[in-house]
Every structure is written in structure tokens, then in C-alpha cells.
Chains A and B, each alone.
Chain A
Amino acid sequence: MRLGAAGFRGGVHPDYHKELTASLAITALPVPAQVVIPLLQHIGAPCEPLVAVGDHVFVGQKIGESKEFVSAPVHASVSGKVAAIGPYRHSMGKAVEAITIVSDGEDKRDPSLQAPPPLEELTPDEIRRLIREAGIVGLGGACFPAHVKLSPPADKPIDLVILNGAECEPYLTADHRLMLERPEDIVFGLKAIMKALGAKTGIIGIENNKLDALRVLRQAVEGSPGIRVVSLPTKYPQGAEKMLIKATTRRIVPSGGLPMDVGVVNHNVGTAVAVAEALKQGKPLYERVVTVTGGGVARPCNLLIRIGTLVKEVLEACGGVKEDAVKLVIGGPMMGLAQPDADIPVVKGTSGITVLTREEMALREAVPCIRCGKCVDVCPMGLVPVTLAQLTEHKLFERAEKMHVMDCIECGCCAYVCPASRPLTQYFRLAKAQVMGRKRK
């Protein structure tokens, strides 16, 4: 099984439906009357609230923080009064502690926020501290605190930073619009990340279905030594970390390893914009670009939304959901999380709000596997989903682990192609959770 020259093995070509929003410029959603800001919007330790009910807060004021290294503070996204602190349902499924702020309508920015010195004068440590203070996490959806990725151990030198502009997830266009509208900030953010890591090379990888973004960014990186823009074949999951590294550099992240094992740190282009805003203006991460899309939304669009805005209000602003809407997904249709209702806040990791109709989804009942082997053909990780699914069905998790179920990146390609409509990706989530659970014991 030879790997393609500059691509990766497997993958699928779903209907992208990017045309719904690709040509629509980012517009700012009006400041909401109330926001609900979860104290856990990242992978790591949850924040402790820094404010109490009744306190007045400014836009950008830090309202939650943790002492743990793997964590990121949260900031108020409107100015106003703290109305409540308590559990609120989160798009990840569970309810988490959240701070509800009622806006005073003045949208006053925290006067203590100041622009830091220019990038040339900042040390790597200062860059990391500013990024942490700004509450920046991976905006592609993984929500890993950005400063952690910028602090690799001394024995893992980083020579390359890859910005992910693949946006391989169908329907979503938030990154595409950012690349078109904020190319300078993306390049600035990349330079800051490279400086923090001491990396000499930067690559911006963009799928070749976004030719305009490729052109704009190629212009933007002119005159920036060490930085280049790479055109990637359009194939899902091109934006998955390991696939992106393979496709741009031919380096292969070892099984169970991290990009830093091959000298690479990945960040999303949206994260680079947030880094640029933090370092240029001292602006914390309190708003983000979200693609609101799908056949079930009356007016699909790309919106700049304050963190904590309730999804139901976002959908109302987009003309509401249509009669035949069946599914509400936070993120895109391949990896996004389905929600029972829209009473959840937009968080740092919310890259898209996708409302799907029955027609778009092809909801079908699972029937027995006919061993067609399509899942084996498409698995970008080189796994054998058909066998892993059997092992999971029989609760043989140890054997599933031996067959590298922990390598599964949950991209969904196997379940996407399965003619028997088997919930393969769901099986592997279950198997992975079981294996992890046993390890903890």
C-alpha cells in the first residue's frame, strides 16, 4: 500500500455544499441582550469564576481562570451585569458551569486592555503568556489551549508551523472567509506562532477548491521569508492534523504520537487571526466567525458572533429553521455534534451551526454488513473498520486496541460510505472510551 506522492491514502468526496455561504462576506451579529459563557470551552481544567452575581463586567474582561497549565481563561463578550452562575447545557453534551451576563447595551470595552508592544520586541515567553491571557484555543473545533501547543518540551524541537486552511468539513466556510478577508492577520499570527516556537518555516495549507483563498494568501505571504502557501487536493479529511502534515511535508506522525514528534505544530487559520488580534490590539477571544448553514436554515451566512450567544438566537437572526429541518449540528456534518435543541451557547470551538433536512442526511436504518470493504478503502488511518466494528460489537476491546482502534481520528469516512448504514464511527468512539476507561483503572 504505497502512499500517494503528496496526498494521503483513503478519504472521501462528500457533497461540499460550500456554495451556500462561500461567497457571503462575514457580517457581525448584533450584540445579544444576554450571553451564557461556559467556564469550560477547551480541553483541560475548567475555569473558576472571577466574578460574582451582580458584578458589572466590561467586554473583554477576564471572568474565569484556572491555575492549571492546560486550561484557558474565558472573557466577557458583552458589557453588563452578571445575572447568574450555574450549570448550562454545552454543545459537548454535558451541562457545565456558565456565567450568564445581561448586556447593558453599551458594549464598553475593558479599559485595562492595552495593546502589547510590537511583535519584534516580544520574547517567546511573552507571546505564550499573551496568547494564554487572551484565552485562545484551537478554533478548528478541537479547542486545545493554544499556548500549550506553543510550549513543546525541550527534546522536541519544532522547525515547522502548519496553518490549517483546508476546511475540508463540508458546508463550513468560516475559515475560507477569514482567509479572503483577513489574510494579513493570518500571516501575522503565523509569524507570531513561529517566533514563539523558534520555527523557521511556516506553511499555510489550503484545499484547491478555494482558489481565491490560495491567490489572496500567496499575495499576503510575498516578502515573508520561510512562509509558503501549499495547495492541497480537495479530499476529506484533508484538514485532519496527521493528513495535513503528510500532505504538506510527507512527514508521518507515528501511531500514538503528536505532530511535535516530527517537528511540527499545527494551528487553524482562525486561531492565527485570534493570535494576531491578541498581539496587535490586546483583544481577548470573545467573538468568533461561525458559518450558519445547511438546507434547514432560511438564510445561510457567515457571522461574527460573540461567545455565549445562544444558538437559538443565532438561528432566529438567520431567518429561523425551515419546516423540514431534522438535525441541528454544532460543527459540520462529518464531525459535528448533533444537538437536541438550540438552547446552547456558541463557544470558542463552534465553527459552524449546520441545520440539516432529511433529504440531505439520507437517514437509514442499519442492516447487516456485507463486507464490501469500502470502509477499509477510505480509512485515512489505514485501519480495518469492518473488523474493528465486529470486535466492538462483541465487546472485545483489547483486540480492538491491538488493531489500533486508538488511532481512529473519528473522521467519519467509514460510516459515510457504508452501504449498510452501520454506525461505524460511533462504535469506535465507544471502543476508544472503553479502552481509555480500562487504562485509568
Chain B
Amino acid sequence: MNGKFVVSSSPHIRTMDTIPSIMIDVLVALFPAALAAVYFFGYRALITMAISMAAAMIAEAICLRKLNIFGDGSAAVTGLLLAMTLPASAPWWLVVIGAVVAIVIGKQVFGGIGSNIFNPALVGRAFLVASWGGHMAGTVWPAPKLFDFWADIITVATPLNSQEDALKVTLKQLFLGNVAGALGETCALALIIGALWLFYKGRIDWRIPGGYLGTVFIMGALLGGGFYENALKTGLFHVLAGGVLLGALFMATDMVTSPVTPWGRLIFGVGCGVITMLIRLYGAYPEGVTFAILIMNALTPIIDNFTQPKSFGGVKRSA
């Protein structure tokens, strides 16, 4: 009875949530999209995802000088997210460079997990777009080949390339993912199923995806030119086409690089939507998700600062 007990500050109990458990939830949530990628783009999708995850995890383990290759799981998530944004035609060395840049430049130079300003996977992707534009072509992407695991890659223009190209696909095609594009971005259905898991587990809240997708829909409907049958369908086209769903559900919701305040999350989501649509409609690139999220990442601290919640019985304030 005179045994010594552990002394620490309260609270003395905790939830079972840990960073690895969050990361595993994200990996699970990405699984449907990964399956869809293999279904549509064959063995190259599988190889690209495996190389990207392995390269990211090895780069992280080397940076941290730790033998546990999975670690807290965050490198695996970064690797898989990067692969989702790459074309099935990407050569192996491009994938490795992207993953290493994502981990080393995107994350570890800032001080590792929690300290990075920009979404690491998007840093990797942006680096590849800037350096190997030919491989990361803005206009032509690998076309899907159903049930053909060993198929060769044939590239075609993406629906976002021009209105002509957009009208070649139906909304149903876009929803199911049977269109040209990056590995993980084409199948809206798979992305939504995965995101439902994250909502269910409380890993993301509605504000960032809601603000992002809502803005894309409204701006698409109002400013998209109405080239589909009507404005609403044009808005829907902009939500389903390209990388918006992948970005809104899995990239913009990255905890480290998005605001922590409720209003801040909403503003962040709306900002991502606005920039994405400005690039799509008026910019030089057909797609703007990567840069939209990276720009908003940079604004995260200031958004947090100006959206401090009202304290109980108090007034609004800023640090």
C-alpha cells in the first residue's frame, strides 16, 4: 500500500486516438480510390503507388534515422496521396523524385510532422509539374482501360482541357471515374466512399470540403459558361472533373496545413475553391487544385489568427 504511484497532471485518461490511428484511417479511406486506380489504369497504377509509398517512407526513415519504416504512418499517407495525383504513365524515377521531394523538402526541412507549412504531397507534385512538364502534361493524360490489367497507356485530353473535350464525357462517366486523368482523382464514387469513412471517424469535418466543393459548384454554375445542358450540370461537371474531389476531401483537409478554427476551416475551403476556379477558367493551366491548396496553406496561420472563436462569456480576439 505504500507503493509509489505515477504522478502527472490531470487529465489522467485519454481517448485511444493516436497519430498512427489517424494515418491508418486516412490510408483506409484512400483504399477505394486506390482500387479504382488499379481498375482503370492497370498494373502501372499499382507500381506507381507502391514506389511512391516506399520512397516516401524510406526518405522519412532516413531523415529521422529510425528503423521503423512505417513510423507514425504519415509518410505512407504522403506517398499514397502523391501517387494519386500522378499519371499512370509516370516513369519510376519521376515517382521517386516526387516522393523524396515531398518528404524532404515538403516536410522534414520544416522540422517534420506538424511543422510543415505546405501539404507535402502537393509540394512533391508541384515540383514535378514545374520540372518535368512533359511527363506531368497539363493537357493529355492516360485514358482508362477497364479490366485490362496489362494494358498499354494511351493518352487523351482530359475533360478540363477544352469545352470540346468536356462534352466528350458524361457526368456519369465522371462520377464513376471512366475518364482520363491522374490515378486517384478520376473516380468520384471511390473518393466519396473513402471520405465517408473519415467523416464517420471524425477525422475531417464538413467545413473544408463543404466550402471547397460548394464554391467550385457555384462558380462553375455561374461562370463556367453553361456549356453543358444547363448551369447546374456545368457546376456539377466542375466538381466531378479533374482533381477537385481528391483535393477537397483528402488534400485540403490535411490537418497540419489547414486552419484549426471552425470559421477558419470554412474560409480555407472557400478560398481553395475560388483559386481553383480562377485558374481553371482564366489561368494558363487547365487544372488549379494543386496551386489553390498550396496558396491557401500559406494563408493558414493568418486565417487562424483572424478567426479566433468567441470565448465563453467573452469577446472575439486575435493573438
Contacts and interface: CB of A to CB of B under 8 A. Distances in A.
A327 to B, nearest CB: 5
Contacts of A321: 1, 3
B319 A403 contact: yes
Interface size class of B (residues with CB under 8 A): 35 or more
B4 A384 contact: no
A416 B72 CA distance: 20
Contacts of B17: 374, 417, 419
Nearest to B310: A382
Interface residues of A, number: 79
Contacts of A12: 15
A12 B202 CA distance: 13
Interface SS, A side: loop
Most chain B beta-carbon contacts within 10 A, residue among A336, A402, A412: A412
A340 B2 CA distance: 9
Interface in A220-270: 242, 246, 252-255, 257
A5 interface: no
Contact of A361 (B14, B18, B262): B14
B132 interface: no
Nearest to B19: A419
Contacts of B312: 8-9, 242, 246, 252-253, 255, 380-382, 407
Interface string A329-354: 10101111111111100000000001
A429 to B, nearest CB: 7
A423 interface: yes
B87 to A, nearest CB: 30
Interface in B253-274: 255-263, 265
B246 to A, nearest CB: 20
B113 interface: yes
Interface of B: 1-19, 21-22, 72, 74, 112-115, 205, 255-263, 265, 304, 308-315, 317, 319
Q: Which 9 A-B pairs have the closest CB atoms?
A: A412-B11, A255-B314, A373-B260, A426-B9, A368-B114, A382-B311, A419-B17, A333-B12, A328-B5
25 contacts: A252-B313, A255-B315, A327-B6, A328-B5, A329-B10, A335-B11, A338-B7, A339-B7, A354-B12, A362-B16, A364-B14, A369-B114, A371-B114, A373-B261, A376-B261, A376-B262, A377-B205, A382-B311, A382-B314, A384-B308, A387-B319, A412-B10, A417-B14, A417-B17, A419-B15
